[in-house]
Amino acid sequence: MNLSIVRKFVQAIAFVVLVYGVPLGIGGYYLADNLSNSLPALACAYDMDTADHCSLISLQHQMDHRIAPTLTAGGSFVEAIVPTLITLGTFLVLFIFLNKAFCGWICPLGTFQEMMTIIGQKLGLQQRESLEKSSNKKIRPIKWLMLAFLIFFFPLLAGFGLVGHELGAPFCSICPSRILTTLATGDTSEMVIDSTSDGYMMLSIIATFGFGLMMAIGLTVRQPFCRICPMLAMHAVFKKLGLVRLVKEGATSRCEKCNLCTKACPMDIEEIATELEKKDVLMPDCTLCGRCVEFCPDKDVLKMKYAVIPILSADPAYFKKRKKVQSNWEKRNLLSWWRDRKRESGEA
C-alpha cells in the first residue's frame, strides 16, 4: 500500500461518480446546475449522465450569452459580471478544499491519461521518463493562452457578434473530455465531423484529431493534455488559496544532483529539485499527485500538508520500499513476458 495506490482508488471512484452519475442516482442531465456547475476538474456537461460539470463551460457561456449581450443592450457592467463572479466564487469554495489536487486526484481526463500511460508501459513501449527542458519550456505557456483566448476572449467576441457563433464555446468544442466522457457512456454523437459550417467543421476536426493524438502520445509520454489544459492555468491563479500544500524544508545542494523528485513527477517540474530557498514548491504545473514526496530519499525534505497538518513526508524507509515496488512494476510488461517465453521455449 502506498500513496499512488490510494490515489488510483480515489481516481476510480471520482471517474465513476462524475461520468456515470445517473446510474448511481446522484446525477442527471444538467442537475449540476442545481449543485455548482463550477467543478475545478474536466467533468463534461455534454455527458448526459454527469453528476457535475466543470466551470469552464459556464465561464464561456457567460462571456457569450451574458456579459456581451448585457453590455450591448446598455446594461451595467456589474449586472453583466454577477453570474461570472458567482461561478468563480463557487469554483473557489470547492478549490480551497483540495487545491490543485482536483487535477491529480479527481479529473476524469487526467485519470484516463494515466491509464493510457500504464497501457503503454504494459505493452512494452519505450517510455519517455521526462521531456527535455527546452520542450517543456515551450509547452508551458500554451495553457495560459488557451485560458485567455478560448475561455474568455473568443467567447466574448462571439457575444458581441465580432466572430462566428462557433467560437462562443471554443474550448468545449475541442476538449478531449467531451469525447471521452460521452464515449464512456456509450454516446458517439460527439465524435463526429460537424459540417454545419466551416468553423464548426474545423473545430470538430481539431477535437477528433486531438483526442486521438492525446491517446497516442499518452502511451509513451505522461499527461500530455494536462500540460496545456486551461483548467490547470486557472488552478495556478488561485493555488495560494488552497489548503493542500507542497512544502520543501531543509533542502541542500544535494537536491539538484539527486533529481529523483523531478523524474517521478508526471509533469516534469524540475523546479521541485532546483528550488533550495522557498518552502512553497507548489508550482503552476503541479497536480499534487504526491509522487515527488514518495520518491524523495531525504527525511522530511518534501511534505504534502493539509493546511498545517502533514499528509505525507519524505522518508528513506518508505522511499526504498516504494522504489522497489516501482521497479518491479516497470519490469512486468507484455514485451518482457514474450521474451521470457521465447527464451524458455528455446531452452526447452
Q: Which residue matches cell numbers 463534461?
A: 44
The single-letter DSSP state of residue 234 is H
pLDDT of residue 156: 96
Total count of residues recorded for the chain: 348
Q: How many CB atoms lie within 10 A of CB 287?
A: 23
Q: For residue 17, what pLDDT is reported?
A: 86
Query: How many percent of the chain have pLDDT more than 90?
Result: 69
Does 34 score more than 60 pLDDT? no
Mean pLDDT of 304-311: 92
pLDDT higher than 80, residue 177: yes
Looking at the predicted structure, is the pLDDT value of residue 12 above 60? yes
**pLDDT of 99 over the 90 cut:** yes
The identity of residue 47, as a single letter, is: D
Q: Is 201's pLDDT higher than 50?
A: yes
- The DSSP code sequence of 16-73 is HHHHSTTTTTS--TTGGGGT-S-BSS---TT-TT-S--BHHHHHHHHIIIIIHHHHHT
Asked whether residue 148 carries a pLDDT value surpassing 90, the answer given is yes
In the block, cell 489536487 appears at: 101
The grid coordinates listed for 144 are 495560459
Provide the percentage of residues in the chain whose pLDDT is more than 70: 95
**Reported confidence tier of residue 98, pLDDT bands at 50, 70, 90:** very high
Quick one: pLDDT at residue 255?
A: 86
Q: Are 103 and 269 in contact (CB under 8 A)?
A: no
Burial class (CB in 10 A: 0-12, 13-18, 19+), 169: buried
Are the C-beta atoms of 272 and 251 separated by less than 8 Å?
Answer: no
Q: How confident is the model at residue 38 (pLDDT cuts 50, 70, 90)?
A: confident
- Neighbour tally for 189: CB within 10 Å: 9
Contact 195, 188 (CB under 8 A): no
Specify whether the CB–CB gap between 267 and 131 falls below 8 A: no
Q: What is the mean pLDDT of residues 299-327?
A: 93
Lowest mean pLDDT among 14-18, 19-23, 136-140, 276-280: 19-23
Q: Are 22 and 49 in contact (CB under 8 A)?
A: yes
